[in-house]
Amino acid sequence: MSSSISRQLVLWLAVPLMLLALCGALLHYFNNVAPSVISRDQRLREASNALMARIEVKGGQITLDTAASGKAPLPSADSVTYAVRDARGRLLLGDAQLPAVSIADASDQVFALARVGHRNVRTLTSRFDTAAGVLLLSTADVRASNEPAARFGLMSTLLWDFVQLDLTLVLVWVGIQLGLRPIKKLRDEIGRRSALDLHPIEESFVPREIAPVVVTLNRLFEMLRTSVQAQRQFIANTAHQLRTPITGMQAQLELLAAEPAAAPIKHRLATLQEAIRRLSHSANQLLSLARADPTVNITAKNERVALDAIVGEVVAKFFDRALASEIDLGAEVQHASMTADSSLLDDLLSNLVDNALKYTPPGGTVTVSAGERHGKPFVAVEDTGRGIPPGERQHVRQRFYRLPDSPGHGSGLGLAIVEEIARLYEGTLTIDAGPNGIGTRVSVEFSQS
């Protein structure tokens, strides 16, 4: 499954941007909260030291000397509350709402969070020795904390950062889509081309980043054109080299058969003439099949061709043969045209008419038709011959396949050539029974108009 470049770019940007936004929000939070926490801890230490300096033991009772002079002032009651407990946690002095905090033997002071009333407060528990034994002093800062505001600031900062991140990603996405427009234009141009279109891609609108791709594609197109042109030239040369000697042999045999001295071997000459005729027919069909190959026709010079004119030419070409076989050969045409190579359409119709005449008995009819059906051009040939069984209609499209008990010495390439040419021009070959179930109707409907 192919991946999206734009999706990958946005993902690669989204993850680090998200981490940066989170780090920035946390940094903002700690920059606002940490100084406040440090300042509060310092006030708790000062308050704890001031309270420890004023705790006295008299007659086994723990008292707080509030009038002593020359000592650190006591914190105000509305800012700091305290509680003094013995080592077993019993309250000796101060606020009973302050919970007892256990403290390890190795520690002298422990900071903790405690709940007083309906709010959480930060406490400092200090252990110190007195004449009455070890005492634990807990102090708590009961003034309003700025932590809720800091948390609100954190959430608002996070929200705004992620809104900015979303807007940034949207702008990045739009920028990527705009930046990828030349690639999409190139994709659309290649997608609109047919398999036969190998002209170079225009490089003027292509950005430098994908210019090497276009240059490589154009080089590939040029190599294909050169290869196809060489193949077409080979086919043309082969056709000339085959047809010229075969035609010469046919002419020489006809002259030889007309000589009186050849009368004793006339039947052998007739056999030889028939063999050369079949050789000529097979060679022409093989060349037609090669010419119908889509790879050969990539550089073909297609032009607007009138189908009714092609039908007229093909009917005229086979008229003498139909007359000699006592077959009524006719045409029913309406004007229709398409873009194609006229010689290939001639081959298509010639093979259809040749097959129809071959399988139609004397006294039968062969009708060639052309026109438009549902806005699409078509050609068709109907005959009153033996017909093609439904189970064989797919097999006769294959190369070198002939129906059992077929007359003559055909090569089985006629319908294979027709289907190759039809496929070349995005046509559909259909084989049906003729009118009233008699004979065969072969039609080719092209997709282009």
Tens of pLDDT, residues 335-364: 999 988 888 888 899 989 988 998 899 999
Both tokens assigned to 64: 């707080």
Is it the case that residue 380 has pLDDT exceeding 90?
yes
Q: How confident is the model at residue 310 (pLDDT cuts 50, 70, 90)?
A: very high
Q: How confident is the model at residue 243 (pLDDT cuts 50, 70, 90)?
A: low
Is it the case that residue 330 has pLDDT exceeding 70?
yes
Both tokens assigned to 101: 């905090």
Residue burial 228-248, b: 16+ Cβ < 10 Å; e: rest = beebbeebeeebeebeeebee
Strands (E), 131-249: 133-141
Domain covering 5-149 in this structure, CATH number: 3.30.450
Which residues neighbour 353 within 8 Å (Cβ) at sequence distance 6 or greater?
Answer: 314, 315, 318, 329, 366, 368, 381
N- to C-terminal Cα separation, the chain: 36
Residue 254, φ and ψ in degrees, nearest 5: -65, -40
Query: What is residue 78's predicted lDDT score, i.e. its pLDDT?
Result: 72
Strands (E), 30-150: 55-58, 61-64, 80-86, 91-94, 109-116, 119-130, 133-141
Is it the case that residue 365 has pLDDT exceeding 90?
yes
Residue burial 80-94, b: 16+ Cβ < 10 Å; e: rest = bbbbbbeeeeeebbb
Angle at 427 between CA 281 and CA 199, to 5 degrees: 95
> What's the mean pLDDT in 435-443?
89
Both tokens assigned to 384: 């009153």
CB contact at 8 A, 31 and 154: no
pLDDT tens digits along 252-287: 777 877 788 777 887 887 788 777 777 776 667 667
3-class DSSP assignment, residue 48: helix
Strands (E), 71-217: 80-86, 91-94, 109-116, 119-130, 133-141
Distances (CA, A) of 148 to 33, 119, 270, 285, 341: 10, 12, 114, 92, 83
CB contact at 8 A, 399 and 416: yes
The more confidently predicted of residues 75 and 304 is 304
Q: Please, what is the angle between helix 181-192 and helix 147-179, to 10°?
A: 40
3-class DSSP assignment, residue 146: coil
> What's the mean pLDDT in 386-399?
83
Query: What is residue 312's predicted lDDT score, i.e. its pLDDT?
Result: 92
Class of domain 301-446: alpha beta
